[in-house]
Amino acid sequence: MCRDSIEKASGFEPVFAKCAARLKYSAGYFARYWNPCDPGASGKVPCTGWREGSARLIRFENVGMRYGAGPEVLRDISFELKPGSFHFLTGASGAGKSSLLRLMYLAHRPSRGLITILDEDIATLPRNRLPELRRKIGVVFQDFRLMSHLTCFENVALPLKINGAGSGVIKKYVSELLNWVGLADQANARPATLSGGQKQRAALARAVISRPKLLVADEPTGNVDDALAVRLLFLFEELNRQGTTVLIATHNESLIRRFRHPVLHLEDGQLVPSPLRPIVPLRDRAPPPPESRRFSDPIYPDAPEEGGRHG
């Protein structure tokens, strides 16, 4: 069996590439079911008007941010992320990484400048439109933020329940995703009984269960050992391969060097060239060919091929 060869393979080398045709997970399978703009979708969230062919997923132009009346913690930030890109965000503690992520997942508005996310101008977007836009952004928090009174399964299922999914749909997709991140045997466990690595994988599963367009992660490998950090990065890369735009804030230089993606580096609230590798504008960087990427186990290996029935 193709899957057996993956499970027996040492490390996380690209054995998946040999089996991709037989264990293919169609990005459209899950995305179309939850795409509120799709005529057959079950979601009830109105469309935001973002187009799949948009040249930019996120754009920051001369952005500044401060908390209250304090000094600016971010100054003159300008960059853009294209759909399907993968970036690391680096910088010393206090450089502004978490503040930048807060702007990206709409927890804070900029003090000045222009932020465009999914073709929406955040500065002028009405407050009642923020929830629908946030549903297209997945967040993995450094402190996990799992609900202590809920089981692992219930934590991961929470976004689907908020979207109004039925119990059958929730059971199917949450079970598949927990299996993918290696937590099938912890489905009924509560967060207090999980290890740091298990909590991080549960937080990742919760963040991606609704197939977000953008996934941001704040130090997702900060509480795990090196081997598990590599495992987590392969999971992020597999999600990126399926079309999710990924931005990971991290201090782990070895991971940045191993997983060669562009770096955004912050110093004292400003973007500067990275000491590890220069910032590469997306328009000047051709994406790597699919066969050059390394993957973990496939997402939802038993899912039907694209074109099958959904829901």
235 within some domain: yes
Task: Report the alpha-carbon distance of residue 39 to residue 170 in Å, rounded.
Answer: 21
Q: Does residue 304 lie within any of the structural domains?
A: no
Most confident of 48-62, 142-156, 290-304: 142-156
| Averaged pLDDT, 52-76 | 87
5: Cβ contacts below 8 Å, ≥ 6 apart: 15, 18, 19
Distance CA 220, CA 255 (A): 12
pLDDT grade for 222, boundaries at 50, 70 and 90:
confident
Residue 201 has a CB neighbour count (10 Å cut-off) of 29
Is 310 domain-assigned?
no
Assess if residue 245 is contained within a domain: yes
Q: Tell me, what DSSP letter sits at residue 209?
A: T
Distance CA 55, CA 129 (A): 22
Strands 86-90 and 263-267: parallel
Residues 243/27, Cβ–Cβ less than 8 Å = yes
Q: How many domains does the chain have?
A: 1
How remote is the C-alpha of 264 from its chain's centroid? 16
Enclosing H/E stretch for 121? strand 120-121
Question: Does any domain span residue 129?
Answer: yes
Q: What's the pLDDT score for residue 277?
A: 55
Confidence of residue 265 (pLDDT cuts 50, 70, 90): very high
Other CB atoms within 10 Å distance of the CB of residue 35: 20
d(CA 240, CA 50): 19
Mean pLDDT of 192-220: 92
Element (H, E) at 233: helix 226-241
Whether 308 is covered by a domain: the verdict is: no
Domain annotation covers residue 305? no
Residue scoring higher pLDDT (54 or 255): 255
Q: Which residues contact 225 (CB under 8 A, 6 or more apart)?
A: 197
Predicted local distance difference test score (pLDDT) of residue 6: 29
pLDDT at 34 (0 to 100): 34
pLDDT at 120: 92
Phi then psi for 236, rounded to 5 degrees? -60, -40
- Strand 112-117 to strand 120-121: parallel, antiparallel, or no bridges (unpaired)? antiparallel
- DSSP code at position 194: S
- Over the chain, what is the mean pLDDT? 76
User: Sorting pLDDT into bands at 50, 70 and 90, what band is 54?
Assistant: low
Q: Tell me, what's the pLDDT at 221? A: 85
* H or E element at residue 17: helix 15-19
Q: Which residues pair with 225 in a beta bridge?
A: none
For residue 263, the tally of other CB atoms under 10 A from its CB is 20
Q: Give the whole-number percent of the chain exceeding pLDDT 90.
A: 51
**Residue 251 pLDDT:** 87
Instruction: Give the separation between CA 287 and CA 283, rounded to whole angstroms.
Output: 10
Query: 10 — phi, psi (to 5°)?
Result: -80, 140
**Is residue 238 pLDDT above 70, yes or no?**
yes
Domain assignment of residue 109, given as a range: 2-292
Would you give the distance in Å from CA 285 to the centre of its chain? 21
Give the whole-angstrom CA distance, residue 54 versus residue 122. Answer: 17
**According to the model, what pLDDT value does residue 1 have?**
34
Residues 72 and 111 sit within 8 Å (Cβ to Cβ): yes
CATH code for the domain of 163 = 3.40.50.300
How far, rounded to the nearest angstrom, does the alpha carbon of residue 15 sit from its chain's CA centroid?
23
Q: How many CB atoms lie within 10 A of CB 295?
A: 21
**pLDDT tens per residue across span 108-133:** 999 999 999 998 999 888 999 998 89
93, exposed or middle or buried, with CB in 10 Å at 0-12, 13-18, 19+?
Answer: exposed
Give 289 or 140, the one with higher predicted confidence: 140
Between these two residues, 1 and 254, which has the higher pLDDT value?
254
